[in-house]
Chain A
Amino acid sequence: MYLVLFFIFAGLCVAAAINLLLQRQPINSALSLIVVMTSLAVLYLLLGAEFLAAAQVIVYSGAIMVLFTFVIMLLNASSEERTLGTARTAYIVGVPGVAALLGLLTYVFLENRTALGGSRLGDSLMTTADLSRVLFRDLLLPFEVTSVLILIAILGAVALAGRQGGADPVKAALDRPLTAPSAVFGANQPLPGGPQQATPGDTLGQPYLGKEPYPGKELQA
């Protein structure tokens, strides 16, 4: 049962990671990364790390990935283009390098598998109390230093991403009118809330019967 659970979630993890590698849209990669992190939380739970499983879901797949999806949507990140000319070195060196790294690590780990031992379900459960006893007694200074680190990170993020003068593409992207209403109601037609001219052939407010092509179709091309 434990082995089956391990293989289910390890397979989910690897499949989502490969999906992250293959997807062109950054938002699809981000959603695959959420699947990887949540499956890793289940694996932490199988290893008896209950606090880390909760922290993984809350911090990683919660806070960090929300930040990622927010930035992807803010910058309107579209499908990435493959610029093979400058990235050829990455392919030539990268594929054998990654294969060699994976082969070496797998060989070393599987060679020493008897020495490394194994784990049964529930043979050691480290509770949050055990963790906090060490964290707040022996590692109190590093814990306090991380709070300073987070404070500096907040200040740095605000200073870097804050508005400066001049032309601002982010502001321009935010101020650009959304394309959704024109895609729904057709281009050059007033919105239902605005002043409406009674032009002949105005089909606003009437159900679309499907005789003509959809009004916003040419916008999606």
Chain B
Amino acid sequence: MMVPTAYYLVLSAILFSIGVGAFLFKRNIISIFMSIELMLNAVNLTFVAFSHQWHQVSGQLFVFFVMVVAAAESAVGLAIIIAIFRARNTLNVDQVDLMKL
């Protein structure tokens, strides 16, 4: 039995679209950050699917680097969220609309 690679790509497109939608519709800054992680995961699935199809290792190594960068990014991003909460006492992005802290 065989699964077409297109199915993996369609699943990745669905997850990416849900991530874009959550990024636009969510008002909580932590939820917005989580939807960014969802989009990163969707793209990772595309990399792994193509790596499997072409029998190339480099696709999986791209995913490895994406994971490393995502870990660093989430640490810095959550620190920024803590700093914003400290300055504004809110997590709603509609109330964080000034460049000045």
Q: Which residues of A contact B83 (CB under 8 A)?
A: 160-161
Can you name the residue of chain A whose Cβ is closest to the Cβ of B75?
A157
Residue of A nearest to B33 (CB): A68
Q: B22 touching A109 by the CB < 8 A rule?
A: no
- Judging by beta carbons under 8 Å apart, are A77 and B91 in contact? yes
User: B94, A87: Cβ atoms under 8 Å?
Assistant: yes
Residues of chain A with a CB closer than 8 A to B81's CB: 71, 75
Set of chain A residues within 8 Å of B94, measured between Cβ atoms: 83, 86-87
B98 in contact (CB, < 8 A): no
- In the complex, the answer to whether B3 meets A134 with C-beta atoms within 8 Å is no
Nearest chain A CB to B70's CB is how many angstroms away? 7
> Which residues of B line the A interface, CB within 8 A?
1-11, 13-22, 24-28, 30-31, 33-35, 37-38, 41, 44-45, 48-49, 51-53, 55, 57-58, 60-61, 63-65, 67-76, 78-83, 85-86, 89, 91-92, 94
Number of interface residues of A (CB under 8 A): 90
B-contacting residues, A101-122, CB 8 Å? 101-102, 105-106, 109-110, 112-113, 116-121
Q: Is A212 an interface residue (CB 8 A)?
A: no
* Complex interface: chain A residues within 8 A of B64 (CB): 51-52, 55, 131, 135
Nearest B residue to A64, CB-CB: B74
The secondary structure that dominates the B interface is helix
State which of A47, A60, A154 has its C-beta within 8 Å of the C-beta of B75. A154
Tell me whether chain A's interface is mostly helix, strand or loop, or mixed.
helix
Given contacts A2-B3, A60-B41, A119-B3, contact A52 B79 (CB under 8 A): no
Q: Is A175 an interface residue (CB 8 A)?
A: no
Q: Which residues of A line the B interface, CB within 8 A?
A: 1-3, 6, 10, 13-14, 17-18, 20-21, 26, 29-30, 33, 36-37, 40, 43-44, 46-49, 51-52, 55-56, 59-60, 63-64, 67-68, 71-72, 74-75, 77, 80-83, 86-87, 90-91, 93-95, 97-99, 101-102, 105-106, 109-110, 112-113, 116-121, 124, 126, 130-131, 134-135, 139, 142, 146, 149-150, 152-154, 156-158, 160-161, 164, 168-170
